[in-house]
Amino acid sequence: MGMSVLDSRIRVFALAILSGVEKASFSFLKGKLKTTDGNLSIHMQKLCDAGYVRMEKTFEGKKPKTYFYITDDGKRALLEYIEELNRSMNAGNREG
Amino acid sequence: MIEELRELIEKSMREHDLPYQRKQSLIWGFSTTIGFLVTQLLFLMALKDILSGFEIIPLWGILIGITVYLSRRLAGLPEVRSYFSKLYSDFWMAGFFAIAVLILISLLTHPRYTGAFVAPVVGLLVAIAGMMFRTRYSIFMGFLYSASGIAMFYLWQYQFLIFAVMQFSTLALPNISALKTNWKI
């Protein structure tokens, strides 16, 4: 499950950004990841469904605002992903 | 990829919403400047026995209430809150508590020199905040704020006027550009 969710660069990068912050808005992530509303919505929904990210909808005046928080599962998945990358790079270096 | 991820994680820990911070600082800068100017007038009246001086307490209560409301209403919500910004706000909370204790001690011992007691500590906090966010202007203003304590000692009758000037120069002046940003919610 973990690896299939994190097989997208945008989802990995979104998790990496969220791992350093307490919370980040949808528009902040969109700016950082340089993607479109629709694309980011789909990716963030997948992260939410996997339980890696928690979504919170709030209102700023009359405007809706969406915040994302990384969950403990999300932090764990990101660490595992980085470890996996490290392992495959080390294996590649040994073979090379 | 790993290097890119590592950089992204490190960077995100220091992220902060600069336009939001500027708006917040501008609102607090203006309101505290007005507060200190009014306090100065009331203080001069109290020195001439026209007022008791205790009118200052409800005035600051109302002023802080209005400022908190305005900063929530006008500055809105931050786009991002990093662990570093959280640490920064915790640092200010501890700073405010230290200042409140210091004000109480100086009022009970040397009330005339409250400004001279408080200004060096406020200045130190501003300078540390400047170091945290790497803004040279804040570091400079922090040390100037601390040094203003000397002026407050000798010109204690005008200590609140000096506070007003320092607050305006430290918080409002460098963030005037925030007026050009969108304030409507």
The whole-number average pLDDT for the span B70-98 is: 88
Strands (E), chain B: 80-82
What's A42's domain CATH number?
Answer: 1.10.10.10
Residue A96's pLDDT is what? 57
- Chosen from A21, A62, A85 to mutate, greatest number of chain B CBs within 10 A: A21
Which residues 6+ apart lie within 8 Å of B164 measured at CB?
A: B32, B33, B36, B37, B40
Q: Flag whether A36 is in a domain.
A: yes
Question: CA of B174, closest CA in chain A: separation in Å?
Answer: 24
Residue A29 maps to a domain: yes
Residue B16 three-state SS: strand
Contacts of B77 in chain A (CB under 8 A): 25, 58, 60, 65
Domain contains A42: yes
Q: Is residue A95 part of a domain?
A: no
Distance CA A70, CA A67 (A): 10
| Residue B180's pLDDT band (cuts 50, 70, 90) | confident
- Look at residue A78 and tell me if it is in a domain: yes
Instruction: Specify the pLDDT at position A27.
Output: 95
- Chain B segment 58-77 residues within 8 A of A by beta carbon are 73, 76-77
Q: Looking at CA atoms only, how far is residue B24 from chain A in angstroms?
A: 15
Asked if residue A65 is part of any domain, the answer here is yes
More confident residue, A60 or B154: B154
Is residue A96 domain-resident? Answer: no
Band of pLDDT at residue B46, cut at 50, 70 and 90: confident
Contact B36, B152 (CB under 8 A): no
Q: Are B163 and B119 in contact (CB under 8 A)?
A: yes
Is residue B53 predicted with pLDDT exceeding 80?
Answer: no
Cα four-point dihedral sign A39, A45, A50, A55: positive
Domain of residue A75 covers: 2-90
Residue A56 in domain: yes
Say how many domains are in chain A: 1
Whole-model pTM?
A: 0.81
